Structure 1
Amino acid sequence: MTRDSRPTILITGAGSGIGRALAQEAADDGWHVILVGRTRATLDDTAALIGPDAATVLPADITRAEDRARIAAAIGPRLDVLVNNAGALRAGRLTDLPDEAAAAMISTNLLAPILLTRDLIPALRATRGRVVNIGSVFGDIAFPYFTVYSASKFALRGLSDALRRELAGDGISVSYIAPRATRTAAEVEFAALVEPFSMVLDPAEKVAARAWRGIRAGRRTVYPGLAERLFVLVQALSPRLIDRALIKQAHAPAAKAALSTLPEDAKS
């Protein structure tokens, strides 16, 4: 991979949503962006959007060991920022969740970031770089019908804290970004639950702009707004209040009805 004087950021899941918007933020700020994702066509679309000179397209499935090795080889000895953004989401009752859907969420949201980060630590150490994990407010407040997704994001938040403490001696920093529900392609998986849970969905561009400001400022964590920070504080200090609110919403007729309208593959 040809290098120039620009700092380099690698973003997984860069073909759409938050990953694409974050690539735009980085490119606008003068960074060279390495776009990683499973689908070449969507990565090419992102590259066209941010400008071919700002991007390197690297199709890869981060859940595959051979693809992670190929990423590490392509990166070479130096990387300034790694953004673990790629994710998988499936909503619905746990009793309706197929094995493969649960495995995909754990593999994509947690195991792949662990292993990709491990493989890229030498390149990050060379620049005293930063690992950025894109989590979710669902990683602080566990939502019913998002059971495995919430569990994977709770674990990613724990990974971020542990890595921050472990890698400090190498000069590598860690940021955890926790957006609330976001308008991305994954929205189709839970759209029916938005109204019953009174969710507010942010545009991916808004999430990315806030995330990029936090990354550039070297922030430890980035949450979307005052309301979410308040809810996280209440969850920590008085979880029974959150229990009561979410149990009431989860078992209301509107939520029960919404479950039956989730995509068929979410109920298989």
Structure 2
Amino acid sequence: MSGKIVLITGAGSGIGRALALEADRLGHRLILVGRREANLRNTAAGLAGKARIVLADVTTPDGREVIRAAAADEGLDILINNAGRLASGRIDGLKDQDLAELVATNIAAPVVLTRDLLPALERQHGQVVNIGSVFGDIGFPYFALYSASKFALRGFSEALRRELAPRGISVTYIAPRATRTAATESFRSLIGPMAMALDDPETVACHAWRAITARKREQFPKSRERFFVALQRLRPQLIDRALARMAKDPAVIAAARHAETGEKA
């Protein structure tokens, strides 16, 4: 599969940028979407081929209309809903604004953008790709809001796959584990105490594109997290006990407080 027109949200940094670079290597044409023009141009500068830059906020109707118009002009084979927000820390420290912004970006935006781009995707018997997380299967303590948003995205992907199959549109759900991006700084204090393993964005993107190319239904990392996801689905009480013990660890509790304030532990 090459020569497809691929639209990636959040393409200016992190996993989105890595997905764009890998798509370019595979010979696809790109529509890069994001809120920061400098970041998008930085991504475009790393491509061998040309890309269309679309400066838009996926959480606003005006932003989504700009994206829809670009897809109508260029055509669309693959939509990658990658833009997202991350929140960590104790639920006690959750602010209303954090909740509103994360739900708007991680849940509402993929749903309504997919809806708006369905005509373009249906013409090409295209593909929707939702970038989730292993936190969408395993609800981690001190990542309650983020986990909830990724659980929702996974459920949306599953239902959407069944709904769109008769229309020739496939849906792929990608669930990487924690990844080294700028967002990592918001929970850096938790990485050590929670014994998190992190992947590079380039590794995630390469792995993801294998699943996208094969139009797989879902993909999880080739790591211990894949086993934990399987165990979560079969014997969730075992994961409950392990993560409840982790949540009581004084070092983890202290790190969660630091994550709320953005301080380094």
1:226 to partner: Cα distance: 4.2
Deviations 1:43-82 (A, max 9, x none): 000000114x331111100000111011111211631000
Task: Tell me the TM-score normalized by structure 2.
Answer: 0.95
Is the Cα contact below 8 Å between 1:188 and 1:263 reproduced in 2? no
Partner of 1:35, secondary structure, is strand
Measured in 1, the distance between the counterparts of 2:169 and 2:150 equals: 21
Question: Paired residue for 1:229?
Answer: 226
Deviation sequence 1:13-61 (CA, Å, 0-9, x none): 000010000000100111111100110000000000114x331111100
CA distance in 2, matches of 1:259, 1:133: 28
Kindly state the Cα deviation for residue 257 of structure 1 after the two structures are TM-superposed.
1.7
Partner of 1:59: 55
- Give distance in 2, aligned partners of 1:248 and 1:107: 32
Residue in structure 2 matched with residue 238 of structure 1 by the alignment: 235
Residue 18 (structure 1) aligned to one of 7, 15, 27: 15
Written as runs of structure 1 = structure 2, the 5 A alignment for 1:152-231 is 152-231=149-228
- Work out the CA distance in 1 between the residues paired with 2:262 and 2:187: 12
1:248 is aligned to 245
Q: Please give the per-residue CA displacement for 1:186-238, whole angstroms capped at 9, x wherever unaligned.
A: 00111111111111000000000000011001111110114222111111111
Q: Is the 8 A contact 2:129 2:173 kept in 1?
A: yes
Alignment-derived partner of residue 66 in structure 2: 70
- Which residue, out of 76, 79, 87, partners 1:79? 76
- Indicate the residue corresponding to 2:94 in structure 1: 97
Looking at structure 1, the residues matched to 136 and 3 of structure 2 have their Cα atoms a distance apart, in angstroms, of 33
Over the matched positions of the two proteins, sequence identity in percent amounts to 55
1: CA distance between counterparts of 2:64 and 2:89? 31
Partner of 1:132: helix, strand, or coil?
A: strand
The separation in 2 between residues aligned to 1:206 and 1:34, in whole angstroms, is 22
1:148 and 2:182 correspond: no
Q: Which secondary structure does the structure 2 equivalent of 1:262 belong to?
A: helix
Q: Distance in 2 between matches of 1:158 and 1:54?
A: 35
TM-score normalised per structure 1: 0.94
Aligned equivalents of 2:243, 2:261: Cα separation in 1 = 24
Q: Is the 8 A contact 1:180 1:224 kept in 2?
A: yes
Give 3-state SS (helix, strand or coil) of 2:104's partner: helix
Asked whether the equivalents of residues 94 and 145 of structure 1 are also in contact (C-alpha less than 8 Å), the reply is: yes
2:156 partner SS: helix
Task: Indicate whether 1:126 and 2:123 are aligned.
Answer: yes
SS at match of 1:33: strand
> 2:88 touches 2:260 (CA, 8 Å); kept in 1?
no
Q: How many residues align?
A: 261
Are 2:44 and 1:43 equivalent residues in the alignment? no
Letter in 2 for 1:236: R
Aligned to 2:113: 116
**Aligned-CA RMSD value:** 1.4
CA contact (8 A) 2:6 2:78 kept: yes
**Which deviations, in whole Å up to 9, do the C-alpha atoms of 1:152-206 show, x marking residues without a partner?**
0000000001110000111000000000000011001111111111110000000
